[in-house]
Amino acid sequence: MTMSMNPSHRLRLRWALALCTSVLAPMSFAADDAFPSKPIRVIVPFTTGGVADTSARLVAEHLGRRLNQQIVIDNKPGASGNIGMAMVKAAAPDGYTWVLGFDGTMVINPHVFAKVGFDSIADYAPIGKIGDATLILVAHPGLAAKNLQEVIALSKKTPGGLSYGTSGTGSTPHIAGELLKIKSGAQLTHVPYKGGGQAMIDVMGGSIPLVYTAVAGAYNHVKSGKLKPIAVSSQQRAGSLPDVPTFGESGVNDFNAYSWVGFLAPAQTPAAIIQKLNTELNATLNDPVVRDKLRVLGIEAAPGSPEQFREEIRRDLNRYGPVVKAAGIQVE
């Protein structure tokens, strides 16, 4: 049986529907437009003063101005970054708590540690990458090798190989050093330090011949002549040290090892919030002032989409797993 509606009833229904649409649409827009309505907290899972921490503070200051809200940096170091990552995994997915993601924590720790307490893909919603930090192999000025091929050759002639220092076991420079061994056959022995500062002191003092580190940590020593630059392991030369060749230019092909940093929110953070934050982050990174300040830290700004950042995390997880396994690196 069909039911009919008289014209007056249909007219009243149309008016009611129009009224609902006119009321609900502005409310939905206002809810999105109001974010953020309070300060945002960014967990940095490292101590203050490092390149990752400094880059987060720099970008947060400028991004906060665009969002008209303060972005507060909260350092929560411990377990090579795992503690801070787990804190943000458990945070409310409302856009007001982020974590500074670092490649060492997100794509190396899951292979190095028996248990990290988070899933790099499933537990986070990427906001966007900040940029890439170039890594460099440097040597004591007295080392009898002036380029990468000579370092490789010397390592094969030296009993026990050549020692190289890094900021610690499972760090990105450590994994890059192991990758160099696989790609070139170099005989290298890893010497882990608790941070890169002491490694720099030891290589300048001649206690170890090589250090693998971020360009930012070696820049002043290279410019002063206290360290000899061998090569950078990124695809492109470092903007701050344009005369230093890449590993590829030095004869080690298909080699690309670098660090990256970026912002992530807890999984299930609304897509509209992620998109707004990504748009403003990219605008911040395209600011010439911000780009220049990041370059001083050895970081090249790399604006992009959340999807691109997620895919890079996934790719590096798969890329570094075999290297960690081959090197037998494990931290309890």
pTM of the model: 0.82
How far, in Å, are 95, 149, 233 from residue 184 at the CA level?
Answer: 45, 9, 13
Geometric angle at alpha carbon 303, from 301 and 309, rounded to 5°: 110
Phi, psi of 50 (to 5 degrees): -75, 170
- For the chain, the 3-state helix, strand and coil shares in percent, each to the nearest 5, are 45, 20, 35
> CA 54, CA 314: separation in Å to the nearest integer?
25
Q: Pick the closest to residue 105 from 92, 93, 119 (CA basis).
A: 119
Q: Pick the closest to residue 135 from 188, 173, 191, 103 (CA basis).
A: 173
Asked if 207 contacts 221 with a C-beta cutoff of 8 angstroms, the reply is no
DSSP string of 233-250?
Answer: -SSS--TT-TTSPBTTTT
> CA 252, CA 184: separation in Å to the nearest integer?
7
Which domains are delineated in the chain? Answer: 39-132+259-327 (3.40.190.150), 134-232 (3.40.190.10)
Per-residue pLDDT of the chain (332 residues; tens, 9 = 90+): 344 445 455 545 454 444 444 444 443 333 456 899 999 999 999 988 888 899 999 999 999 999 999 999 999 999 989 999 999 999 999 999 999 999 999 999 999 999 999 999 999 999 999 999 999 999 999 999 999 999 999 999 999 999 999 988 888 999 999 999 999 999 999 999 877 788 999 999 999 999 999 998 899 999 999 999 999 998 889 888 999 999 999 999 988 888 999 999 999 999 999 999 999 999 999 999 999 999 888 899 999 999 999 999 999 999 999 999 998 988 86
Note the residue count of the chain: 332
